[in-house]
């Protein structure tokens, strides 16, 4: 079997900076790359914070009016950001959803959704303040983001 080079490995990671980018479009499904730290610079998202951010991002995205268009929210294995997959969602709407989610996470108070032993495979490894810090850092980055900024 010949291993194929996947799309995300063809992006020049030396040029990436924090932001939101269109990673790929497969028919009616768009994959967004929400880059939160510059790759390969020694600063990565801490696992407990990214875990809590994932719980909050996924819960928020599945609670908004456009939730039926959300396919997947999940962290990148390299710990530099998140993947966000949507179906039939205009780019401006995806940007707005992500911006609104960042405000939601930055201001979140209370128990982290899905962070119990019954609901999560690693429920103890959570960091709400760290997740809020990630959101606060990204709010100014994406504040004026437009569909034109989505290109790598």
Question: Which pTM value belongs to this model?
Answer: 0.94
HEC per residue, 39-58: CCCCCCCCHHHHHHHHHHHH
**Distance (Å, rounded) from C-alpha 17 to C-alpha 139?**
14
Confidence bin at 12 (pLDDT 50/70/90): confident
Side-chain-side CA neighbours of 4 within 13 Å: the count stands at 3
Q: Residue 8: its pLDDT value, please?
A: 78
Q: Residue 125: its pLDDT value, please?
A: 97
Tell me: pLDDT of 151 over 90.
yes
21 by DSSP, 3-state: which? strand
Digit-coded pLDDT (tens) for 112-148: 999 999 999 999 999 999 999 999 999 999 999 999 9
CB atoms within 10 A of CB 79: 16
Q: Residue 6: its pLDDT value, please?
A: 83
CA distances from 131 to 3, 42, 72, 86 (A): 36, 19, 19, 22
Tell me: pLDDT of 10 over 90.
no
Digit-coded pLDDT (tens) for 19-42: 999 999 999 999 999 999 999 999
Confidence bin at 9 (pLDDT 50/70/90): confident
Backbone angles phi, psi at 127, to 5 degrees: -150, 90
Tell me: pLDDT of 5 over 90.
no
Average pLDDT over residues 1-27: 91
Q: Residue 99: its pLDDT value, please?
A: 98
**Distance (Å, rounded) from C-alpha 138 to C-alpha 10?**
25
Could you give the angle at which helices 91-107 and 47-61 cross, rounded to 10 degrees? 120
**Distance (Å, rounded) from C-alpha 142 to C-alpha 92?**
12
Digit-coded pLDDT (tens) for 62-120: 999 999 999 999 999 999 999 999 999 999 999 999 999 999 999 999 999 999 999 99
């Amino acid at each position: 079997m010949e291993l194929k080079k996947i799309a995300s490995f063809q992006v020049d990671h030396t040029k990436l900076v924090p932001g939101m980018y269109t990673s790929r479009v497969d028919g009616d499904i768009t994959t967004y790359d929400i880059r939160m730290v510059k790759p390969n610079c020694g600063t990565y998202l801490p696992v407990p914070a990214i875990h809590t951010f994932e719980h909050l991002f996924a819960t928020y995205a599945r609670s908004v009016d456009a939730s039926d268009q959300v396919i997947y929210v999940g962290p990148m294995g390299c710990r530099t950001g998140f993947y966000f997959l949507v179906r039939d969602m205009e780019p401006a709407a995806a940007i707005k959803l992500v911006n609104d989610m960042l405000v939601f996470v930055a201001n979140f108070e209370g128990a982290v959704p899905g962070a119990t032993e019954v609901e999560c495979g690693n429920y103890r490894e959570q960091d709400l303040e760290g997740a809020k810090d990630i959101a606060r850092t990204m709010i100014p980055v994406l504040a004026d983001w437009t569909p034109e900024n989505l290109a790598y």
